[in-house]
Each structure stands twice: as structure tokens, then as C-alpha cells.
A and B are shown apart, each in its own frame.
Chain A
């Protein structure tokens, strides 16, 4: 009996040692093929002057990276992209509010949940057409509303000063459903007993929210913050469609795309991508250090 048990334990122990590697293996293989290998291929490209119009390349060393340091347009695009970071806390707060509201058992709740998720489902093209009208300075809906309440209309996307903000508005509208979803899932995690206990202790609604719910939503918040910030640095499609004047909405990825695909400087574009990666990496690291925010 004892020997068998020990042997079985031994086997299980082995199984336990190998198991985690097997669990993460599919994901690691996938990432190795789809991300790591291309990155390894991209690095030598960033050290070349490749035009991407033919397979021919020529090694130019660190030239591309040095050029980056004095490329004003690159720096400008970074600043433009950084502006869009404002949208992250906004879309998270909006998602949280909606998730709290939707987290009730009520008649028609499914309908509400569909409604509040519909911007995510609305095709970006349909949304862009409509928002293009919304943003029209002279005959658009938004200025129509502003003027109806006695406020002056603004230029929205046609004005370099307000273009970025308009894009943020679009992103918040489109993205709230996504953050709402994460918070809804996270709210299921909050054990009913804790809430009840707080209630019995006499805590009011706001106190219960702040001291019970919010801390338990920390993983969701951390996740949304980190991914939101990473996502901000990758903005491309919206600014491609809703383009503001004087490069007021041109993000880093827009610039990289223009350089590589339109300007036939794929080598330089590749170097820029690595620089962008470095920026994102440093910011995520900073988040971890200073805000103690982490996906762990």
C-alpha cells in the first residue's frame, strides 16, 4: 500500500513538474512563430536601407537609429499619440459606470447590455460615416446641439486644435463597450457575502463601493490600464479615417506606415517600430514601478 502510494505520488509529482510547461506550451509556440521570429527578422531590416520594392537590401548599421534622434516629425507623432492617452481613463471610467448599472437582475437587462455594447459591434465604416456628419462644423449634429443651447460651434476634426479631442470622443464611444465587458466579468468575482457583510456593518453605498468593490476590481482595472496604454500607442485606423489638418492626429504608427509603405523606406520604418516598442516598454515598466500597477 505504502509503496504504491509513494510511486503514484512520484508519478504525479513528475506530472506536476511537467504540467505547467505543457500548459503554456501552445501559447509560447504560437508567440514564437507569430511575434518573436518576425521581430528577429525585423531587426536586421532596421539596420538596412530596404525600400521594400525589391528584396534587395544593403546594410547601413545604426544609421536609421541615429536618424531617429533628430527626426522632428517622429517626435511630433509621439506627442500626438501621447495626447490620446487621455482617452484611457475616460473610457475606463465610462465602462465601469455602465458595468455597475448593468450588473442587476432586471427585466430588459439583456436588451440594455446589447445596446451598450452596440458601438463595438457597429462597423467602423458605418460609425466613421456617421461621425463624419456629427463632426461637420456647419451642418453637423454636434455643433447643432451646441448652438441649440447657446454655445458656439467648434471645428471638431477640421480644426487642428480640436481634432485629437474629437478622435478621443470617437474612441470613447466605440471603446466603452469593451471596458464595460471586462468590468462586468470582474464584478461577478465580487463575493456577495462581502457586500452583505459591509452592509450589515452599516456602510453606505459609496463606502461599500470604494472599500469593497473597487479594490476587488483592481485586477480588472490594472489590466485595462496597461492594455489601454499599450493600445493607445498602436492607434492607426481611426486616425487614418478621421484625419485632422496639419498632422494634428498623425500617430506614430501612421508615420511609420507612411514612411515604410508610401515613402519606400522600410528599413527606417522598421527602426522606428523598434523605437516605439522601446517607448511602450519603458512606459509599462514605469507603470509597474511608480503606480504599482501590473498585470500580475
Chain B
């Protein structure tokens, strides 16, 4: 039975809900501005370390720039693209945001971005103060549309105990391709048919493969920006080398263990990865004695690939204020603090030799990877997805190598063709 009391409670809740609804619209809390400072909205990938840092940085920036107010929103990293796309679609997006560097061309072509204000930060200054590999991919038509953040290269990690057990030099690590492959084979162990230890946990993660392509003298992309790695013999050769390690030399099996999980448990000996994994491994794999080094070299040069996101500005952003904010976030002082607290690499040349950063031997190695580096392609979710699916086919299926590679190239080109349409 529905008693009087229940009806009363029901009514109260409905009324409360009603007032919420009514108040909801007005509650859009644009603060009653006194004088009107310029307000810029900014979206940030959320992570514990970043969130705290960002709040402090925003505060300091606003102190130094009293005419500018920064409103921040923290977005869960995994759902960032969903939220970003929806907001761009409805013009409810922020003024400044982070995007994968590979997205810039597509966004510029769609008319969603504006270039950095040259009056605040000229193109000359950018190209001279930042490591080239970190900003090369951020320009379209000669103008810079963003500055780098969340920068990563590819370095080498190894399990010192497993390496030493094979009588290999656990302090130095493998230096050349041949040495690396040799180690990977020696460090792979099987019990009969079953793999019990993997020498190299590989799966074709694109910056790793791109590094090998570049080192071999190959090209991922031709001068018109179209993918050409299937047609270029040196590129195909490098990719074949990576695939052979899996299929011919059998240094890893995807059915054995997940790569990083396996590394943490001491079942995988060598891993290529981002510098940011260092912080993660220290916390999640305290039992693994970590060796860190540069990516193996083909001909004496440890050229690696830089991948990053970028701070970019929406078309509607107040140009000068937004550029100042972006400049601030990539200023030398902020980058230094950022590196020390999050482990992400700095993009400014000067910081590569900065005292406070270099004094940590592990960080020193990671920083040195930037000095011989090249900007990476495929830095967009969908491109990465096409690549990953294609590479899976290369290592897991029996389809012929060149056919699959050509297929990958075609699919990638179909995708990038969208960025210059209309």
C-alpha cells in the first residue's frame, strides 16, 4: 500500500529534483566577473602527478599574468578522444588542449585550430630553442600549431639478473642490432615446446619499428607525406628483421604472457619502451634489477623516434593569451619541474644538459636518447590502430609479408588522404 507518508516523501523528492532542474541551467557557474579578464579554458589529461602539478602551474601563471584567467578540466586519459571529438563537434571545446601530434594536420585541415601567435613566440625561436625532432611534426604550411608535451622516445630496458645468468654484460647492454638479436635468442628459453622465458618482448609497437626503419636508412613517408614503407626496400628490410625475430627466431609469443606483465615478473629479458616506463617499473616491479640503455644501433648510431602530444589552440581561443599559456607550459623552468616530477622528457635543447636533470644517471641516459632522434609518424589513434592490426597479421598469420605490408600502407594512406580532402 502506498501510505500518505510515502506520497509525501515522493512529492518532496520530486520537488527537490524540480528545483535542481530549474536551477540547473542558471547554475552554469560563469563567475560574476568584476573587470573582464581574458579567460582561457584548458583540458588536461588526468593523472595524479599531473593534476597536482597543473593546479600549481595555473596558479603561478595567473599570478604572473593578471589579465588572464585559466580554467582547467581534467579528463580521464582513456576517454580523452571521445570527449574531445564530442566537444569539437558541438563547439563546446576548450581554448587550449592536448592532442596527439599526428592529429594536428587533420584538425588544421578541418579548420579547428589556429597557429601560435608569432608576436608572442616566433617560429625562429621555436626552431632554435626546441629539439627539432620534437617540433618538426607540429607545423603545417610553415606555421607552428602547437608545442610538445608528453614526449617520449624509445629506449632499452633489460632485466640484469636474467642477462647476467647468461654470462652477458648486464651493465652495458646490447649495442648493435646483431648483438641485440643474439642476446634475445640466448635469453629465450623453452621447456620442451612451451616458452618459459622470452628474450625480447616485441609486438611491433610502431615507434620501435620506425626507429629501426630510420636506422636502416629507410623512409616511412615520402616527400608528399604519403606512407611508402612497403615500396621502399630499406624500410621493408628493417620491418622484415623485426618480424623475423618473432617468426623465425621465435624470441616471443603473444600467447606466452603480456609483455610488460611478463617483464615485471622476470619472464621477459629485454624490452624496448618509453622513458616514462621507468617510473612505473620502479613502483610496480621493485624486484627487477633494471638495466637502461639506448636503442640498439645499426651502424653505430642509436637513432630513436620521438613521439609526443602537443598543446594546441582552438580557432575560438584568444590568440595572444592562449599562446602565452602554451609558452609558459613549455618554458624551461616548467619543463624541468615537469620532468623531475613525472619522468616525461623535456623538449628544449638547453635542458638536455641541465645540471639538475643530468645528475640522475638513469635520467641522463634517457635524456641522451633525444640527441639522436627523429620525429615519428603514425601518431594518431586510428593510424596506430591500423598499424597494430597489420603487424599482428605479420607475426600471427601466414599471409605473405609483402602483401600484408602493402595492405597496411594502402590503409594508412586512405586514412591520411582524409586530411587533405575538400
Contacts and interface: CB of A to CB of B under 8 A. Distances in A.
Interface string B335-346: 000000000000
B396 A246 contact: yes
> Which of under 10, 10 to 19, 20 to 34, or 35 or more describes the interface residues of B?
20 to 34
Contact of B88 (A53, A58, A260, A262): A53
A128 B339 CA distance: 32
A138 B257 contact: yes
Interface stretch (B42-50, B107-115, B279-287): B107-115
B91 A258 contact: no
B83 to A, nearest CB: 10
A51 interface: yes
A136 B259 CA distance: 12
B81 A53 contact: no
A139 B257 contact: yes
B85 A52 contact: yes
A246 B397 contact: yes
B385 A245 contact: no
Interface string A26-58: 000000000000000000000000111111101
A247 B385 CA distance: 11
B412 to A, nearest CB: 12
Overall SS of chain A's interface = loop
Contacts of A261: 81-82, 85
Contacts of B81: 261-262
Most buried by A among B267, B382, B422: B382
Contacts of B223: none
B382 A263 contact: yes
A136 B257 contact: yes
A34 to B, nearest CB: 15
Interface stretch (A155-163, A173-181, A224-232, A278-286): A155-163
> Which of under 10, 10 to 19, 20 to 34, or 35 or more describes the interface residues of A?
20 to 34
A56 B256 contact: no
A51 B110 contact: yes
A264 B89 contact: no
B89 A55 contact: yes
B396 A55 contact: no
Nearest to B422: A58
Nearest to B83: A261
A266 interface: yes
B166 interface: no
B19 interface: no
Most buried by A among B88, B106, B195, B255: B255
Contacts of A55: 89-91
Interface string B257-274: 110010001010000000
B254 A262 contact: no
Given A53-B107, A246-B397, A262-B81, A137 B256 contact: yes
Interface string B381-398: 110010001001100110
B285 to A, nearest CB: 15
B191 to A, nearest CB: 11
Given A245-B396, A246-B392, A261-B81, A52 B89 contact: yes
Given A246-B397, A262-B381, A264-B418, A56 B110 contact: yes
Contact of B106 (A137, A158, A264): A264
Interface string B73-92: 00000000110011011110
B415 interface: yes
Interface in B96-127: 106-107, 110-112
A58 B88 CA distance: 17
Contacts of A58: 422
Contacts of B265: 139
A266 B393 CA distance: 27
Nearest to B257: A138
Interface in A32-87: 50-56, 58
A64 B106 CA distance: 20
A53 B85 contact: yes
Contacts of A138: 195, 256-257, 267
B174 to A, nearest CB: 25
B170 to A, nearest CB: 25
Nearest to A137: B255
Contacts of B195: 138
Nearest to A155: B255
Contacts of A262: 81, 381-382, 385
B406 to A, nearest CB: 17
A246 B388 CA distance: 9
Most buried by B among A58, A155, A261: A261
A136 B260 CA distance: 13
Nearest to B79: A261
A155 B385 CA distance: 22
Nearest to B106: A264
Interface in A119-176: 136-139, 155, 158-160
Interface in A236-281: 245-247, 258, 260-266
Contacts of B385: 258, 262
A247 B90 CA distance: 31
- Pairs A-B, 7 closest by C-beta atoms: A52-B89, A53-B110, A262-B382, A262-B381, A263-B382, A155-B255, A158-B255
Interface of A: 50-56, 58, 136-139, 155, 158-160, 245-247, 258, 260-266
7 contacts: A53-B107, A56-B111, A139-B265, A245-B254, A245-B396, A258-B385, A264-B418
Given A158-B255, A246-B396, 19 more contacts: A51-B110, A51-B418, A52-B89, A53-B107, A53-B112, A54-B88, A55-B91, A137-B255, A138-B195, A138-B257, A139-B265, A155-B255, A160-B396, A245-B392, A246-B393, A262-B381, A262-B385, A264-B106, A264-B418
